Amino acid sequence: MTTPNRTNRRKFIAQTVKGGLAVTVGLSAAAPLLQSFTTNKNFVPGGFNTGFDQQPLPYAYNALENVIDAMTMEIHYSKHAAAYSKNVKDAAAAEKVNMTEPLEEVLSNISKYSAKMRNNGGGHYNHEMFWQCMRPKKENNAPTGKLLASIEKEFNSFENFKKQFAEFGKNRFGSGWAWLYINKEKVLTLGSTLNQDNPLMDIAEIKGYPLLALDVWEHAYYLKYQNKRADYIEAWWQVVNWDYVAERLHSYDI
């Protein structure tokens, strides 16, 4: 497979996006959850608050080979994601946001802020979560315990869950994200968002608490997969950090 040259690398990011998709499935055990989503206030579970500074990548750039190549990881983290962190702090300073408070508080009321805050706040949050959603490749990588049981209950099987999740990633027109999240109706849900929106935002097409995030912007995969987004998604399951997803699920006690 031919690797694009440096000039081409700067051209491979698709910027045009439109529309949003979501599918929901019942989660009867979730009745006590997400009551506070109706107010968009103080709903973030302890231990998962996001700051405005970029955190160190939890593994080496080459740790996800051969699923995600080292050059993609380096560019993605040190250029794209770093820019979101810088820009959201610039926006926060300009808009008098208290940066000692969790970024989630801003995102839950993002309609009150500028487009710069929305784009870069979302971009920073999404990438900080995305890095944690991955780990070095494991054979037969799959969730276990309560997380697996919840997925199998709501999606009939783990394979069916992966198929549905992949469809949201593949069918997101242009750039965006695919999500597993818990929505305000208290159901385990799949969906996608455009650009750097996420389910925490009060103006997003889908709303809830994210459990798993997949970046389907072309800069996340183009050097290795070119236009083959479906191949990227299929390979990505090998590096999903199911322990982290389980921790996020556990934080809502479902």
Question: How much is the pLDDT for 19?
Answer: 38
In a domain, 93, yes or no: yes
With CA atoms as reference, report the closest residue to 204 among 128, 93, 134, 121.
121
What is the residue type of 100? Answer: T
Planar angle of CA 63, 87, 134, nearest 5 degrees: 20
CATH code, domain with 224:
3.55.40.20
Give the pLDDT band of residue 187 (cuts 50, 70, 90): confident
Between 159 and 17, whose confidence is greater?
A: 159
Residues 40-69 have pLDDT tens digits of: 444 455 468 999 999 999 999 999 999 999
Domain with 202 in it: 18-37+67-251
What is the residue type of 33? Answer: L
In a domain, 4, yes or no: no
| CB-based contact 201:108 (threshold 8 Å) | yes
In a domain, 171, yes or no: yes
pTM above 0.85, yes or no: no
Tokens describing residue 41: 């206030």
Residues 65-81 have pLDDT tens digits of: 999 999 999 999 999 99
In a domain, 56, yes or no: no
Residue 121: how many other CB atoms lie within 10 Å: 30
In a domain, 6, yes or no: no
Residues 134-143 have pLDDT tens digits of: 999 988 999 9
Residues 22-43 have pLDDT tens digits of: 443 333 333 333 443 433 444 4
Question: How much is the pLDDT for 85?
Answer: 98
DSSP at 136: S
- Give the number of domains in the chain: 1
In a domain, 55, yes or no: no
Measured CA to CA, the distance from residue 188 to residue 68 in angstroms comes to 28
For 153, counting Cβ atoms within 10 Å of its Cβ (0-12 exposed, 13-18 middle, 19+ buried), the class is: middle
In a domain, 46, yes or no: no
Tokens describing residue 23: 């599918």
Q: What is the DSSP string of 79-131?
A: IIIHHHHHHHHHHHHHTT--TTS-HHHHHTTGGGS-HHHHHHHHHHHHHHHHH
Residue 53: how many other CB atoms lie within 10 Å: 12
Between 38 and 125, whose confidence is greater?
A: 125
Q: What is the DSSP string of 4-59?
A: P-HHHHTT---------EEEE---GGGTTS-GGGGTTSS-PPTT----SSPPPPSS
In a domain, 155, yes or no: yes
- The yes-or-no verdict on residue 210 having pLDDT over 80 is yes
| CB-based contact 108:184 (threshold 8 Å) | no
> Helices 82-94 and 115-132 meet at what angle, rounded to 10?
140
